[in-house]
Structures are given as structure tokens and as C-alpha cells.
A and B are shown apart, each in its own frame.
Chain A
Amino acid sequence: MTSGRIVDGTARIDPTSDRPVYKQIADLIRQEIDRGQLEADDKLPSETELMRQFGKTRTTIRRAIGELAAEGRVRTERGVGAFVKPSVLPEALVREPYDRLARHHYRDEGQSPLYVDAASRGLNPETVQQDHVELDEVRAPDDVAGRLGLEPGAVVFRRRRRMWAGGMPTQLTSTYLPLDVAVGALRAASTGPGGTHARIEDLGYELTSFTENLSVRMPRPYEVRELRLEPGVPVVDLYQTAYAGERPVECFVAVIAGDRYVFKYRIDAG
């Protein structure tokens, strides 16, 4: 569908309202989306068509569309038009910690959690790729040191990567390990089947629990570039800490594209 006529546009703009006209136009288009008159991937009427329907200038129409783009309700393709966009892409991965962190995945199947995520949408594991890999020793940021139970400024091993799935960058990650844990394959560019968790257990630690902390914010400019984010897409700050008994042995930090992941938790009432 490519029409989506906003019925009687001029009649629905209130010239006496305090609300700027471009916001009123954005409201009307938003209503069409909310009512299902315009669905995901539908093309909005062209600028020229909207100018005609609302009897307003191109600048006003562009501001209205810009407002919707900033909210993540539409995406614009230059020279093509604006399209309705869901807040989470249909191809978003489902991240289900109670499953993805289960031992059988990393011990028996040699699957790291990121492979489990990709499998949630039937993606070929080969599309899970990494680039911009950096391995170094750094002073732990305060939030990481706290989670690892280390003194502020303690030196830790860090593996930084950009992760891809299905041809899209999904997250920028840093794996922090205490120096005594970061030995052997844990310092290699590739950690091998089952990833970091399998290698930590190879050292004789038994992982007993994880905590996950999530918060959200708008991306910084380099994150927009690295994750190829569209306007109106926030990022998730994730901290995942792995424990062997009382001891935190890994802190995994990720900046995740908000429109490429759904988080799902199944919690038993016990």
C-alpha cells in the first residue's frame, strides 16, 4: 500500500491551537499509524501530496516528518520517501537469558550466547560475526570494577568487539576479566567453541549465576555510526556479570541497538 491519504487534512488542522502546525500534522499521521490505517513498511504520502492535503509548505511537512523520524515512528529514504517503522524491527533477535546462558549451550553444543540469540530467529550461525576486535589490559571503569569486586582502577583484561548478526551490527561489546582469570584461550582473538563461559569453566570455575542490569539512553555519535542506527533509535546499556559461587569472574558490557533486540525472561514463581 502506498497511498495512506490523510482524510481531509486541512479541516483537521486547528489554526487557533497553541500546538504548532507541524506537530498537529505529525499527530494526525501518528493517529493513522496507531489506528492501523498505515502499517509497518507502508510508504507515507509524498511531501508534495501532504503539502496538498494539508495546504502547508514543504518546510512544515518536513518538520512533521522529522518529528516522527525522531520518535522512531518513520524512517526516511532520501529521494524515495518516508516509511512507517515499528519500534522493534521484525527481524530483531530475541534475547532470552534463562535459555541463552544455559550450560548445555556452551558446554555441549559449543554455542556462545550470541549464537543462541541468532538461532532465535532461525539465522545461520555463520552470520554471527565480529569485527573491530581489540584485546588489551586497561584500568577497569568504576562500574565494572565494582561489579567484579575489584578496587577502583584495578587492571583487568578487556576484549572489545562489534558483533553482527544477519548482516546487521547488533552491539558493541566489552568483556572484562580479572587478570588471574584471563589466561590461555581467554586472551586469544577467538575463544573457541562455547566462547568465554566454556573457557572460564575449563579453568575449573563452575558458573553458578548471572546478573543482568539494563538501562536505556540515546546513542552517542560514534555509536550511531558503528551500529548504523536510524534516528529515533535508543541504545541499551547492558551489564552481565557471571559468578562462580560468590566470586564475579566476568563482566560483559554491551551497547545494544534498541530496535534489533527484544529481551525475554521466563521467571518461575518457585
Chain B
Amino acid sequence: MTTDTRTLDVVTVDPMDDRPVYKQIADWIREQIDRGDLRPGDRLPSETELLTAFAASRSTVRHALEQLTNEGHVQPLRGRGVFVRPQIQPRRLIIRDPSNFVMRQRDLLTRPMIEDAEAQGFAYTQRIRALEEVPAPRDVAADLQVEPGTPVFVRRRLVLYRGDDPGSVLSPAKLADSYLPIDIAVGRIRQPDTGRGGTFARIAESGHRLTHFVERVLFRMPHPDESRLLRLGAGIPVIDQTRVAYAGERPVEVFKAVLAGDRHELEYRIPAR
């Protein structure tokens, strides 16, 4: 049976239910998806069918559909209706923990991130969004151990990938901002191309031997500017990564990345000790 011919039975909204009506409708549709009664690619009943079945107003039905869209369960296709979102996953790029990058960069291999992406079948390119001095935002200042508002140098990049799966196109996948103290951000670090070995090699050449990194990762929904820059569909969360590079006690770089959640996997190797 296709959903196009389905007639909805009248579903009674329970006035004694604690849940608002729009939630009852959203929950009911979610259950249909959960049970497999509605399958990926199926069209949902129309707004009119739903408002008749639930004896609810159009705005209540729309509210329910918006909620399901935001959760990533359904997608509206203009003029055609609302569909259960197909579970097609773009292939994910695996981002490995930075220790091997550092090792390889010290050997002056030029572009470990790019090499790793290419080894996984991804074409990888980046665009510089900004190279500038800015007042340190609160969180960056804390990680750099300076007062908020202290001038710092930031390299903002947009990273784009194209997978080798059919139909894959070059598209924005990651926002990467690198914050450096002013005295560290000298020479080529301020240029679009940082040269062989990248920022870490330049930091090392300036006499700051990198000793360790502390990486914090959290998972959240994107902010609107991130959605726009990464062209994220509704219901796609992001990986929020902050990595502080230390030379002994001193933090010499704060790297902040926002990764499209449907296109990345993080991998860490942890030796037993």
C-alpha cells in the first residue's frame, strides 16, 4: 500500500493528555516511522488529511511537521508534500587524532590532512575566509590563558570535500579557525599559504617545540551561520572540536573546528597504560 492512496482513520487527540496537540501529532507520525509503517521515501499524509484526522488546526499540524523536519525524520519537498527522509548516508571522512599529523608534520610531509583525505578517496580543498587580528573571544582567551579581548591572530578557513561515491560534489564540510597569540603569528603564518609542514612547522621553527595537545569535543545542533556556511539540511548536527596545542606549559594555538555531522567520523587511538 502506498501512502498516496492511504486514507487516514480519525485519530483522536486526547484532551487529557499532558502533551500539547502538536506533540501528539508529531509523536504519532514518529511512531509510524519507527514501526516501519512509513518507510524512507514515503509521502506523509497531506496537511489537510492530518488536520481532518486529528481535528486540529492547520498551524498545529504545521508545527508538528516542522518539529519532525528539525529532528531530521522528514523533509518537505516544495509543492510535492512532506516525505520520510531517505537514510542515504554520504560516506564519512575519518578524521584521525592529531598525534600522527604532528609526527608526520615534523618529518615535513607537506599536507597530512589532505593526504589522509585522499587516501580515503576524498578530494579536499580549502578556502581562506579571513586572516586577521581580532579581540580574543571569551572561550579562546581562556584556552590561550589571556584576558578576553586581547588581540590574537586568526586564520579562518572553509574546508570542502568531494567523495568518490557517485553523485558526490565538492561541498563545504568543515569550518576551521586557528587562533594564535600575536607573537607566535609571524611570517608565513599570516600568509594564505603557510608553507611546508603548515602552521605547526612554522611554530616549531620559531623555537616553540610542541609537546602535547588537549582536544575537547562536543556534539550539538548548528547555529544558523554554521548551517548556512556548511549548507546543512534540517536535522543535521555538528561536531564541535577545540584543540589546544602546547609548547610545554604555554598554549601556542587554539584550533576550533565545526564539522558537518553527516560527513565526519573522529577516530582516536589510545595506547593502554
Q: Is A211 an interface residue (CB 8 A)?
A: yes
Contact with A along B208-236 (1 / 0, CB 8 A): 00111111111111111000000000011
Interface-facing stretch out of B4-12, B26-34, B115-123, B165-173? B26-34
Q: Are A71 and B272 in contact (CB under 8 A)?
A: no
Q: Is A121 an interface residue (CB 8 A)?
A: no
Q: Are A70 and B71 in contact (CB under 8 A)?
A: yes
Q: Are B102 and A269 in contact (CB under 8 A)?
A: yes
Complexed CA–CA distance, A63 and B98 (Å): 42
Interface-facing stretch out of A48-56, A170-178, A214-222? A214-222
Q: Which residues of A contact B240 (CB under 8 A)?
A: 87
Q: Is A169 an interface residue (CB 8 A)?
A: no
Q: Are B237 and A221 in contact (CB under 8 A)?
A: no
Q: How far is the CB of B224 from chain A (nearest CB, A)?
A: 7
Q: Is B175 an interface residue (CB 8 A)?
A: no
Complexed CA–CA distance, A218 and B223 (Å): 15
Count of chain A to chain B residue pairs whose CB atoms are closer than 8 Å in the complex: 161
Q: How far is the CB of B239 from chain A (nearest CB, A)?
A: 6
Count of chain A residues near B, Cβ 8 A:
54
- Contact partner, A265, options B18, B92, B262, B268, Cβ 8 Å: B268
A98-B270, A211-B267, A217-B262 known; A267 vs B215 contact (CB < 8 Å): yes
Q: Is B113 an interface residue (CB 8 A)?
A: no
Q: Are A216 and B238 in contact (CB under 8 A)?
A: yes
Q: Are A209 and B224 in contact (CB under 8 A)?
A: no
Interface-facing stretch out of A132-140, A150-158, A230-238? A230-238
Q: Is B265 an interface residue (CB 8 A)?
A: yes
Q: How far is the CB of B101 from chain A (nearest CB, A)?
A: 10
Q: How far is the CB of B71 from chain A (nearest CB, A)?
A: 5
Q: Are B221 and A102 in contact (CB under 8 A)?
A: no
Q: Is B207 an interface residue (CB 8 A)?
A: no
- Contact partner, A216, options B27, B31, B239, Cβ 8 Å: B239
Interface-facing stretch out of B44-52, B62-70, B75-83, B156-164? B62-70
A27-B224, A270-B103 known; A218 vs B71 contact (CB < 8 Å): yes
Majority secondary structure, B binding face = mixed
Q: Which of B27, B214, B217, B264 has the most CB of A within 10 A?
A: B217
Q: Are B70 and A264 in contact (CB under 8 A)?
A: no
- Contact partner, A207, options B31, B59, B97, B272, Cβ 8 Å: B272
Considering only CB atoms, which chain A residue lies closest to B31 in the complex? A221
Q: Is A88 an interface residue (CB 8 A)?
A: yes
Q: Are B220 and A234 in contact (CB under 8 A)?
A: yes
Majority secondary structure, A binding face = mixed
Considering only CB atoms, which chain B residue lies closest to A207 in the complex? B272
Complexed CA–CA distance, A70 and B23 (Å): 13
Considering only CB atoms, which chain A residue lies closest to B240 in the complex? A87
Q: Are B270 and A209 in contact (CB under 8 A)?
A: yes
Q: Are B268 and A212 in contact (CB under 8 A)?
A: yes
Q: Are B219 and A213 in contact (CB under 8 A)?
A: no
Q: How far is the CB of A10 from chain B (nearest CB, A)?
A: 22
Q: Which of A30, A220, A264, A267 has the most CB of B within 10 A?
A: A267
Considering only CB atoms, which chain B residue lies closest to A256 in the complex? B219
Complexed CA–CA distance, A266 and B214 (Å): 4
Q: Which residues of A contact B264 (CB under 8 A)?
A: 215
Scan residues 231-273 of chain B and give those whose CB is less than 8 A from a CB of chain A: 235-240, 261-262, 264-273
Q: Are A72 and B221 in contact (CB under 8 A)?
A: yes
Considering only CB atoms, which chain A residue lies closest to B72 in the complex? A218
Residues of A whose CB lies within 8 Å of any CB of B are 27, 30, 59, 62-63, 66-67, 70-73, 78, 87-88, 97-98, 101-103, 206-222, 231-236, 258-259, 261-270
* Given A102-B273, A216-B237, A219-B71, 7 more pairs with CB closer than 8 A: A63-B66, A78-B18, A211-B269, A211-B270, A217-B261, A267-B97, A269-B210
Residues of B whose CB lies within 8 Å of any CB of A are 18, 20, 27, 30-31, 33-34, 59, 63, 66-67, 70-73, 92, 94, 97-99, 102-103, 210-224, 235-240, 261-262, 264-273
5 closest cross-chain pairs (CB), A and B? A70-B70, A234-B237, A87-B220, A258-B219, A263-B217
